[in-house]
Chains A and B, each alone.
Chain A
Amino acid sequence: MDFSLTEEQKVRRQQFYDKCKELEKKKPASFVGLETIFEDDECWKYHLYCAKEFAKEGWLALGWPAQYGGKGDMMDRVLFAEARGYYGIPGVDIFGVQMLAPTLLQAASEEIKREFLPPIARGEVMWCELWSEPNAGSDLASLTTTAIRKGDEYVINGQKTWNTGAHRADWGFGVFKTDPAGRKHHNMTFILLDMKTPGITVRPIPYLDGHTPYCEVYFDDVHVPAKNIVGQEHEGWAVVNLLAGFERSGINEIMTMFRALEELVKYCNETKRHGQPLAKNPLVRNRLAELACQLEAARALAYRVADLQNRNEMSLMDASAGKIFFSELGERFAFLATDILGPYGQVKTSRWAPLDGIWERMYHEHFITTVSMGTNEIQRNIIAWYGLGLPRIR
């Protein structure tokens, strides 16, 4: 058992950290957390800028085979995510780089790989995900939006929802019913489409605090080239499952929390309440220490997931456990931090807000990690059914 990094890995990790530290200095004032890239023009520009900077280094294609412009290995990807998480740097398209690219590498035709991978690696094309529908959330396979084959095209009709960043994305990947009469799980196809295609209407959905990180997308006779599919026609469900297996280790989010903890500790040391630093309050100490322990436990689990991924031994159980654990840790952290800040815990980014108002945001933003990418309840089902082998009653 060995938790150490090789000398080369240490060097590369330093490069990742140095670059992210440099990019941190260029953050626009409106940037408070990764979600802001979808809400604010300046933040989106900053996201694109960071993407280009990373692309120059070849870091958007870490772990890819060399023939598609790949560089480094899976462990580099983990170390890069760690650095970005710590400094809170965007620039890596969650949908294009983290979800779609590994899926294409495993399941797409050579032609599709050649066409779509290089622009992702160059940081030129930003993607969104088109999966959920108003009546198909956790039970995604019950989706109803159709893509009917007509010659060399599919014609798409229906509606998708909860599409993060769809209003800013260039391209989208989604699953659509291509064989409405077919068996469940064998009636849909994984399709790639240009978001500028006529017939697509994107409407941002106001999130519970009024910001707009995600959208609903309407399809009205949208014509898409039939060649733009991944996997077999009607077998998109297999691709969806494959993609879900590329669950990230969560190290990015965890490192963001480590940084946030450092900032909060600093705040507690510098802020006086009842004539003494907040840090001296035994309740504050106890609760922050407890959180720090859980954070270290989360990091250990993230390494476990990364270690399995590095060896291509992905365990659904560990990926689900990691997702549950780090997302719920985010919830607990937000509740704790806003408690400690007292009345300031409710203040949005402004001159009254301590720590850039990040905690008011976190108080609601945590839902994005607990609810999306398979709700935590679905993740618990996965552990119970596929991991622990508990009976599944339909």
Chain B
Amino acid sequence: MDLRLSETQEILKKMARDFLTTECPKTLVRKLEQSDQGYSPEVWKKMAELGWMGLIIPEQYGGMGYSFLDLVILMEEIGRNILPGPLIATITSTFPILEAGTEEQKKDFLPKIAQGKLILTTALLESEGVFDASGITVKATPKGNDFIINGTKLFVEMAHVANYILCVARTKEGSSPEKGVTIFMVDAKAPGVRCEVMPTIAHDKLCEVSFNNVTVPKGSIIGKLDEGWPLVETILRKGAIIKSAESVGAIEVCVEMTVAYSKERVQYERPIGAFQALQHKMADMWTAMETSRYLTYKVAWMESQGLPCAKEASMAKAYVNEVYKDVSKWAVRLHGGIGTSADHDISFYYRRSKSADLAFGNTDFHKEIVARKIGLL
């Protein structure tokens, strides 16, 4: 056991921090939140040059061949800085291709993803807003060598700028909701696909995507027909770990900013950080950060080693969700009036803690997985 970062991870971490500080300052983040696109193609191109989209894509497909654990270290930095855009959507949508794509699909898509030429996203949620298979009602009906997709997806991140949308559709009414689900890789510009950006707390460009008689070839199925749900579980599991890591980075900044501010801000002739009411709160924030971090590292290590970790991934997401919301809330509170201003950077983190909670399974969804995995009937 040695929980220090490896040399590669230290380098990756430093490179990411330097890059993001320079290339993605908060002025840009603020601008992107208000923009229609929601990301900067220039920064995206530079990130591609650093190899981020292809970080864990094997070298034979043009990627960097890094481990999942390395990706988690990168995600922490992204969470620290805040990076609006389709990076996480693209990376998590790559997982099913890596795991179940045909050789042809891999050769077609992976190098382009690694080069930053393709933006991907996954369309999972629908009007019920639930993360389990019972929520999947968008239908894909076979017609000759094609499938015709009809229905509406919601909360699809960055779909409006995506090249491909992984649409999780129902292809059969099975004996259970998990049976009869298929993943289609849909060209976002295909006739009948319409995206509309939903206004959300983090301005993170979640979209309503409607499919109106969208024709997709059989060859666009990722994995097996009717047996796509385990791949969705992979996206949710790995996505939960990645999102936890991103949140850990954000939590760290919330603690740092609050501690720094409390040392500067003087009231009653002393820095407010000298008051124990605040000190103890900050000690708790730090403790929550430290537990979140090592829980996330533990599960990321397990995932990286190929060990079964569905329980631990859900534990991490359920735990870190709550910590991020709570710590960012206290960060605003301890900043006082200024913390509630949109001009102050702390507000980014508070708003994003809610969207982070909802990405790849909210707390209650993951708690139910944990309840089953700890042996409750």
Are the C-beta atoms of A269 and B294 separated by less than 8 Å?
no
Q: How far in angstroms is the closest Cβ of chain A from B142? A: 39
Are the C-beta atoms of A388 and B283 separated by less than 8 Å?
yes
Chain A CB within 8 A of B201 CB: no
Given known contacts A2-B301, A279-B376, A292-B374, A303 and B280 CB-to-CB distance under 8 angstroms: no
Q: Which residues of B contact A4 (CB under 8 A)?
A: 1, 305
Task: Name A286's closest neighbour in chain B (CB-CB).
Answer: B367
Q: Which residues of A contact B259 (CB under 8 A)?
A: 388-390
Residue in contact with A1 in the complex, picked from B4, B263, B276, CB distance below 8 Å? B4
Given known contacts A2-B2, A280-B377, A303-B3, A292 and B291 CB-to-CB distance under 8 angstroms: no
Chain B CB within 8 A of A288 CB: yes
Given known contacts A261-B374, A384-B280, A393-B274, A1 and B6 CB-to-CB distance under 8 angstroms: yes
The CA of A393 and the CA of B6, in the complex, are separated in Å by: 40
Given known contacts A289-B318, A296-B319, A391 and B294 CB-to-CB distance under 8 angstroms: no
Are the C-beta atoms of A292 and B377 separated by less than 8 Å?
no
Stretch of A64-72, A195-203, A317-325 contacting B (4+ beta carbons < 8 Å): A317-325
B interface, by DSSP: helix, strand, loop or mixed? helix
Chain A CB within 8 A of B338 CB: no
A interface, by DSSP: helix, strand, loop or mixed? helix
Stretch of A47-55, A81-89, A153-161, A375-383 contacting B (4+ beta carbons < 8 Å): A375-383
Are the C-beta atoms of A2 and B280 separated by less than 8 Å?
no
Given known contacts A269-B377, A301-B291, A380-B284, A290 and B318 CB-to-CB distance under 8 angstroms: yes
Q: How far in angstroms is the closest Cβ of chain B from A110? A: 32
The CA of A284 and the CA of B375, in the complex, are separated in Å by: 13
The CA of A5 and the CA of B301, in the complex, are separated in Å by: 13
Q: Which residues of A contact B1 (CB under 8 A)?
A: 2-5, 75, 303, 306-307, 310
Q: Which residues of B contact A36 (CB under 8 A)?
A: none
Residue in contact with A301 in the complex, picked from B274, B294, B301, B371, CB distance below 8 Å? B294
Instruction: Give residues in B with beta carbon < 8 Å to A.
Output: 1-6, 9, 69, 259, 262-263, 270-271, 273-274, 276, 279-280, 282-284, 286-287, 290-292, 294-295, 297-298, 301-302, 305, 312, 315-316, 318-319, 364, 367-368, 370-371, 374-377
Instruction: Give residues in A with beta carbon < 8 Å to B.
Output: 1-5, 75, 261-262, 265-266, 268-269, 277, 279-280, 284-286, 288-290, 292-294, 296-301, 303-304, 306-307, 310, 317-318, 320-321, 324-325, 377, 379-381, 383-385, 387-393
Question: Could you list some 14 contacts between A and B, CB below 8 A?
Answer: A1-B297, A3-B1, A4-B1, A288-B371, A289-B318, A292-B315, A297-B319, A317-B286, A381-B280, A384-B279, A385-B279, A390-B259, A390-B274, A391-B274
